[in-house]
Amino acid sequence: MPTSLVHRIGIAAPAETIYRAITTADGIRAWWTTDVTMDASVGGKAVFGFFDHSTVFEMRIEQLTPPSLVRWQCTGGSSPDWVGTTQEFVLEPQPDGEVLLKFCHGGWERGGDHCYFCNTTWGHLLTCLKDYAERGVKNPYFK
């Protein structure tokens, strides 16, 4: 049965700021990985590298709805577990001024150690994204 990694986090920043942090190479470099190339348009390709490019994820940008939705699909790379999965970021402004970010990395064919590791890592990454969007703190998890 397919598995989804699901997170939610409140971010005290404008949705547009968070959206740019997710949809631009400079934004991604501030909180996720410094090894990124990205064609930030629907149908475009993003390549995220890790550990001196020994691990790579290739994504197709499936949907961009500024400033509320970003959806990627993993189309290739060094981890077969990721291929075919999707990453979706939903941004929902709240009455108190915060934005609720709902994140889902869906379509995992199986659980297991790699899936658990990625779930923990996504939680940490979203905290890095929050720090960047709220305070401008650039602290990519993977350098």
Q: Could you give the CA distance from residue 77 to residue 51 in angstroms, rounded to a whole number?
A: 13
> In total, how many domains does the chain have?
1
Please indicate, yes or no, if residue 141 is contained in any of the structural domains.
no
Looking at residue 131, what is its pLDDT? 98
Q: pLDDT value at position 111?
A: 82
Give the integer Cα–Cα distance in Å for 59 and 44: 8
- Three-state DSSP at 53 gives coil
Whether 105 is in a domain gets the answer yes
pLDDT digits (tens, 9 = 90+) for 15-50: 999 999 999 999 999 999 999 999 989 999 999 999
Please report whether residue 140 resides in a domain: no
Domain harbouring 105, CATH code: 3.30.530.20
Indicate yes or no: pTM above 0.85: yes
| Residue ranges in the chain whose pLDDT is less than 50 | none
Classify residue 120: in a domain, yes or no.
yes
